[in-house]
Chain A
Amino acid sequence: MLFDYLSLSWHSIRNRSLRSWLTILGVVIGVTAIVTLISIGQGIQDSILNEFDKVGYNTVTVLPGNFDTGRGGFGNTGADTSSYLNKSVINEVEGVKTSAAIRSEDLQIVSEGLEGQAFLRVTGMSPAVLSDFEAYFDGFPISQGERFSYESEESGVVIGDEIARELGVSPGDIIRIEGKEFTVSGLLGTDEEGNDGQFNFYGDLNNGLFIPLSALENLYGRKGNASLILAKVFEDAEVSEVADEIERAYSADDTAATTITTEEISNRVNSALGTIQIALAGIAAISLLVGGIGVMNTMYTAVLERTREIGVMKAVGAKNGQILGLFLTESGLLGLVGGAIGTLVGVGLSILAGRFISQALSAPFTPSFGPGLLIGAIAFSFVLGSISGVLPARQASRLQPVEALRYE
């Protein structure tokens, strides 16, 4: 019976092919919009989540100062707010497996390609930064040369590619930081594995200079201080509890410290992305609603046009429920065809858009189509079409046969 309905519906859809296709187009636009927006949104979310996975959910970032991270946590009011943290305090906290210290200062830079001098942000990194927290810096990708060295006194300096251009230096050249000579060992950029530093947790890598923390301490004193501490928690420890413990330890040391867990960052990013996605999907849903109204309009017209036909079918024994089923099948079919085409177009469009985004961000990006999205979009269109057809189909099924036959 369903097959018969489908075949009859198909005949009448084909008979009004231009109008049917225009109606289907309305659904196609809505479904395309939804599939494209959701798959791109999901792709963005996936690639961000992937970065969080790389950094690891057992990572805790410790910053000097007092601010709300949303975790509630341990209020350490009354403690000193300084822009430095004592880097050894963290080692006494139970549950901390490894930690690394980072310190940034604005220092005087002189190079041959530069007229006069510049004050630029120089970041010192303890050895553990690049051995245990590489992902935090998106792999700390070197495009030319190599990393600075912890081994020798002449450590060298790694420079972001934009700054290097401004300073007019390339690997092997020499610059002066606070009067001391440093050999440029490498430039940051896109490395052989395709990491490009775009998605790192630290900040803009292209505009920084990086040296070992010990070298920075030699230049600028204040040994033992860090402006950012990274910690990894033991796998079996509760990350947020250890984070609270870290804040408490610094508070006992009379320093205000705030911790942020990877999960907190990820939750914030996710909820921000989620809100954007819902807003976009809402806009797309409106266009789908318009598509549904188009189906309803077409079906009302079809019922009017085919009033006699309905009368004939009733005269030869069609029951009200069968007429209802026939028209619902037809409107469902309009939705289904629109949904299938819209899903295909949406997939194509988001793959194209994905390439565009990849180029714009110069980062690999793939939109994400779960089977749920694809099947869901098609199934939803069928349901939308059917629902849009309910009122017209009911009107058709309730026609009096004699009056329907009389209709001109």
Chain B
Amino acid sequence: MKEPMVELQNVAKKYIMGETTVRALRGLDLKINNGEFVGIVGPSGSGKSTLMHIIGALDIPDQGRVLLDGKDISDYDENELAELRGNKVGFVFQTFNLIHTLSSLDNVALPLTFQGIGKSEREERAAELLEMVGLSDRLTHKPAELSGGEQQRVSIARALINDPDILLADEPTGNLDSETGKDIMELIKGLNRNRGTTIVVVTHNPRDAEYAVRIVNMIDGKIKNGKENEGDN
């Protein structure tokens, strides 16, 4: 068996807001293997997004250890975490989070700017990815000039531009109609199949969850059980 891409050991995270303390994650263990397609489901507030942030080096746990591609990143400083995100992780958000002043092409190319990669190479790779997500005729459109589904495709292209080891999508279809949502899930599934990218998708939608090979069920900051999906969707 391959090395796990992600390994969480006894990870906990709490938010203190004045009097009340919210324990978003309560000592959680999780392994995700290289090339896996994992779906995370669970009720609102169960800690799914918090978990995603910790897997993606966007946030650090209060307790426990986080290993990404075999490396313990628990003690990384802000710059090391940023570097890791820039090189190994791709994020897709429910609200797309595109930069509204930039064109599709510039939005997709943006992560490479921070890696110090030159403009022509950036734009070439961004154009390739936009073509892959079916938007080769929308390169100069600003986010406001795109449909929701198109915006999410742009954000998927952006997440892929650094050729990430792991793609993290937090409710990627949450703001889309079911038909468009299906297209997006197909696109993500294709990435997993064709590129072998490790994928973690948080979703509320049972139909989306069907795409995942393994389902992780979260309740109250803990993993309840995991189950393998039947079949070979």
Q: Interface of A with B (CB < 8 Å)?
A: 1, 3-4, 8, 11-12, 14-15, 308-309, 311-322, 400-402, 405
Is A312's CB under 8 angstroms from B97's CB? Answer: yes
Chain A contacts of B91 at CB under 8 A? 315-316
Is A320's CB under 8 angstroms from B82's CB? Answer: yes
Is B116's CB under 8 angstroms from A1's CB? Answer: yes
With beta carbons under 8 angstroms apart, the residue of B59, B93, B101 that contacts A12 is: B101
With beta carbons under 8 angstroms apart, the residue of A1, A8, A316 that contacts B85 is: A316
With beta carbons under 8 angstroms apart, the residue of A4, A8, A313, A401 that contacts B59 is: A401
Q: Interface of B with A (CB < 8 Å)?
A: 53, 56, 58-59, 78-79, 82-83, 85-87, 91, 93, 97-102, 106, 110-111, 113-116, 119, 158, 162
Closest B residue, CB atoms, query A318: B114
Is B83's CB under 8 angstroms from A320's CB? Answer: no
Closest A residue, CB atoms, query B113: A4
Is A316's CB under 8 angstroms from B53's CB? Answer: no
- A326: min CB distance to chain B, Å: 10
Chain A contacts of B106 at CB under 8 A? 11
- Counting chain B CB atoms within 10 Å of each CB, the highest count among A3, A4, A317, A320 belongs to A317
| Bound-state Cα–Cα, A63 to B230, Å | 115
Chain B contacts of A317 at CB under 8 A? 82-83, 85-87, 111, 114-115, 162
| Bound-state Cα–Cα, A246 to B222, Å | 103
| Bound-state Cα–Cα, A316 to B156, Å | 12
Offer 14 A-B interface pairs, CB within 8 angstroms, sorted by A: A8-B102, A8-B113, A15-B100, A312-B98, A312-B99, A313-B114, A316-B85, A316-B86, A316-B91, A316-B111, A317-B87, A318-B114, A319-B78, A402-B59
Chain B contacts of A402 at CB under 8 A? 53, 58-59
Closest B residue, CB atoms, query A5: B113
With beta carbons under 8 angstroms apart, the residue of A4, A8, A316, A320 that contacts B78 is: A320
Chain A contacts of B110 at CB under 8 A? 313, 316
- Counting chain B CB atoms within 10 Å of each CB, the highest count among A1, A12, A314 belongs to A314
Closest A residue, CB atoms, query B102: A11
With beta carbons under 8 angstroms apart, the residue of A15, A319, A322, A405 that contacts B97 is: A405
| Bound-state Cα–Cα, A317 to B111, Å | 6
- B180: min CB distance to chain A, Å: 22
Chain A contacts of B158 at CB under 8 A? 316
| Bound-state Cα–Cα, A314 to B56, Å | 12
Chain A contacts of B113 at CB under 8 A? 1, 4, 8
Name the prevailing secondary structure of the A interface residues. Answer: helix
| Bound-state Cα–Cα, A321 to B101, Å | 22
Chain B contacts of A316 at CB under 8 A? 85-86, 91, 110-111, 114, 158, 162
| Bound-state Cα–Cα, A223 to B38, Å | 118
| Bound-state Cα–Cα, A70 to B33, Å | 90
| Bound-state Cα–Cα, A311 to B91, Å | 12
- B69: min CB distance to chain A, Å: 16
Is A315's CB under 8 angstroms from B85's CB? Answer: yes
- B59: min CB distance to chain A, Å: 5
Is B82's CB under 8 angstroms from A314's CB? Answer: yes
Is B82's CB under 8 angstroms from A4's CB? Answer: no
Chain B contacts of A1 at CB under 8 A? 113, 116
> Nearest 9 pairs between A and B by C-beta?
A317-B86, A316-B111, A15-B101, A11-B101, A319-B82, A318-B114, A402-B59, A312-B97, A317-B85
| Bound-state Cα–Cα, A309 to B87, Å | 19
Closest B residue, CB atoms, query A10: B101
Chain B contacts of A308 at CB under 8 A? 97
| Bound-state Cα–Cα, A402 to B60, Å | 10
| Bound-state Cα–Cα, A322 to B106, Å | 17
Is B79's CB under 8 angstroms from A320's CB? Answer: yes
Chain A contacts of B86 at CB under 8 A? 316-318
- A304: min CB distance to chain B, Å: 16
Chain B contacts of A14 at CB under 8 A? 101
Chain B contacts of A321 at CB under 8 A? 79
| Bound-state Cα–Cα, A1 to B56, Å | 25
| Bound-state Cα–Cα, A14 to B100, Å | 12
Chain A contacts of B82 at CB under 8 A? 314, 317-320
- A101: min CB distance to chain B, Å: 79
Closest A residue, CB atoms, query B77: A320
- Counting chain A CB atoms within 10 Å of each CB, the highest count among B79, B86, B158 belongs to B86
- A393: min CB distance to chain B, Å: 16
Chain A contacts of B93 at CB under 8 A? 405
Chain A contacts of B59 at CB under 8 A? 400-402
- B32: min CB distance to chain A, Å: 19
Closest B residue, CB atoms, query A319: B82
- A112: min CB distance to chain B, Å: 84
- A272: min CB distance to chain B, Å: 53
Give 10 new A-B contacts, CB below 8 A, not counting A312-B97, A318-B114: A1-B113, A1-B116, A313-B114, A314-B82, A315-B85, A316-B111, A316-B162, A318-B86, A320-B82, A402-B53
Is A401's CB under 8 angstroms from B87's CB? Answer: no
Is A315's CB under 8 angstroms from B58's CB? Answer: yes
Chain A contacts of B119 at CB under 8 A? 3-4
Chain A contacts of B53 at CB under 8 A? 402
- Counting chain B CB atoms within 10 Å of each CB, the highest count among A3, A4, A11 belongs to A4
| Bound-state Cα–Cα, A11 to B142, Å | 12
- Counting chain A CB atoms within 10 Å of each CB, the highest count among B83, B110, B162 belongs to B110
Chain B contacts of A11 at CB under 8 A? 101-102, 106
- A86: min CB distance to chain B, Å: 85
Chain A contacts of B115 at CB under 8 A? 317
| Bound-state Cα–Cα, A8 to B53, Å | 26
- B49: min CB distance to chain A, Å: 9
